[in-house]
């Protein structure tokens, strides 16, 4: 678990976090980011007027994006790299170690301000490079 940018046990994290591991994604054949709503309570996918504007909502809180320059209130980070544009976080989930959904406001700990929460995606490449 890396919700605070360091390895720690889930029970020690002082925030509400839902974790889905890569094995679960494979077992249920969940290969799209939009499928995360099936494994994470309180997570929903909000529509927008353009396909690139769709984004996640945590407990009903999220940004309705109407232009490409608007940042979402639910951030997406893949291997420590924040995605700034709406819709970038909706990529296919290929070769994923784990996905952590942090259900509280996140300051700049992950490189961007996310007022509703954050989806932190970690791949096996990142995990093996840490050891």
Q: Bridge partners of 25?
A: none
Please enumerate in sequence order all residues whose Cβ is within 8 A of that of 52, keeping only pairs 6 or more positions apart, or say none: 65, 68, 85, 86, 87
Q: Which residue ranges make up each domain of the chain? A: 16-130
pLDDT at 14: 58
For 24-92, strand residue ranges (E) read: 43-46, 55-58, 74-78, 81-83
CA–CA separation, 60 vs 42, rounded Å?
A: 8
pLDDT at 1: 46
Note the pLDDT tens digit of each residue in 30-52: 888 888 888 888 888 877 666 66
Low-confidence ranges of the chain (pLDDT < 50): 1
pLDDT at 89: 64
pLDDT at 123: 87
Note the pLDDT tens digit of each residue in 75-90: 888 888 888 766 666 6
CATH superfamily name and code, 16-130: TonB-dependent receptor, plug domain (2.170.130.10)
pLDDT at 84: 73
Q: Bridge partners of 45?
A: 56
The predicted model scores a pTM of 0.77
């Amino acid at each position: 678990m890396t919700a605070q940018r360091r390895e720690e046990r889930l029970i020690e994290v002082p925030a509400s976090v839902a974790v889905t591991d890569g094995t679960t994604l494979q077992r249920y054949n969940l290969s799209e980011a939009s499928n995360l709503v099936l494994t994470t309570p309180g997570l929903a996918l909000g529509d927008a007027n353009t396909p690139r504007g769709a984004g996640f909502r945590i407990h009903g809180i999220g940004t309705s994006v109407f232009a490409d320059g608007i940042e979402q209130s639910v951030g997406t980070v893949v291997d420590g790299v924040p995605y700034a544009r709406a819709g970038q976080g909706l990529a296919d989930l290929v070769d994923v170690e784990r996905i952590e959904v942090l259900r509280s406001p996140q300051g700049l700990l992950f490189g961007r301000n996310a007022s509703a929460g954050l989806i932190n995606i970690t791949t096996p490449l990142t995990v093996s490079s840490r050891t």
